[in-house]
Amino acid sequence: MVHAQAPQGGGPRPGPGRAGRPLWHWLVLAGIALLGLLVVGVFAIVIAVQLLTRGDPESTLDDFYTSLESTDCALFMDSTTEQYREMTGLTSCEVFEENLGGISSVEYRVEERINRRGYAIFEVTETYSVDGEEVDVSLRYYVRRVDGQWDLDGIELVEDGAEPLT
């Protein structure tokens, strides 16, 4: 009686020169991988654009002071919130130019800045001249992020002995 021996090394092997998978299979896999990389790339670009166009709240402060010094109503309107303009009564360019047309140069320096829930809060020392004498005033500016843009939303006088920003 003759017994059949089991082939060694597992199942049948492809013949010499014959690929294990058809070419179309590898092309489909390569296409799926490229599509995945494209989707990841698009997301990376969108995120980068969002991060780069966030703006800088300190430039809003610069724009605000520039608008006062140059009586630039468009820049003033662009750098302040509607609530701020209503609160100060500077709701139109005519009112803005009438009330702020005579402002001279005002120096300011940012002493401290903190960020809180959509706000950047600046402690600023403002210096200007009155009758040839320099006056320093400490102010707190509240710059709020509105629709992707930073706008001045409020100003308050910092009294001596007031709580520091923390």
Residues 6+ away with beta carbon under 8 Å from 156: 139, 140, 142
User: Quick one: pLDDT at residue 113?
Assistant: 87
Give the residue extent of every domain in the chain: 26-55, 57-157
152: three-class secondary structure by DSSP: strand
Please state the φ and ψ torsions of residue 63, each to the nearest 5 degrees: -60, -40
User: Quick one: pLDDT at residue 9?
Assistant: 56
Tell me the C-alpha distance between 127 and 50, whole Å.
Answer: 36
Burial 15-42 (b: 16+ CB within 10 A, else e): eeeeeeeeeeeeeeeeeeeeeeeeeeee
User: Quick one: pLDDT at residue 25?
Assistant: 86
User: Quick one: pLDDT at residue 7?
Assistant: 56
For 35-57, how does the pLDDT look when each residue is reduced to its tens digit (9 = 90+)? 999 999 988 888 776 666 556 78
Given a cut of 80, is residue 120 above it in pLDDT?
A: yes
User: Which carries the bigger pLDDT value, residue 112 or residue 4?
Assistant: 112
For 128-161, how does the pLDDT look when each residue is reduced to its tens digit (9 = 90+)? 877 778 888 999 999 998 877 899 999 999 887 6
User: Which carries the bigger pLDDT value, residue 78 or residue 1?
Assistant: 78
User: Quick one: pLDDT at residue 104?
Assistant: 63
Given a cut of 90, is residue 107 above it in pLDDT?
A: no
Is 57-157 a domain of CATH 3.10.450.50? yes
User: Quick one: pLDDT at residue 102?
Assistant: 62
**Cβ-contact 124, 112 below 8 angstroms:** no
Q: Lowest mean pLDDT of 10-19, 57-66, 110-119, name the range.
A: 10-19
Given a cut of 80, is residue 77 above it in pLDDT?
A: yes
How much is the mean pLDDT over the chain? Answer: 82
User: Quick one: pLDDT at residue 30?
Assistant: 92
DSSP string for residues in 80-141:
B-HHHHHHHT--SHHHHHHHHTT----EEEEEEEEEETTEEEEEEEEEEEETTEEEEEEEEE
Tell me the C-alpha distance between 166 and 152, whole Å.
Answer: 20
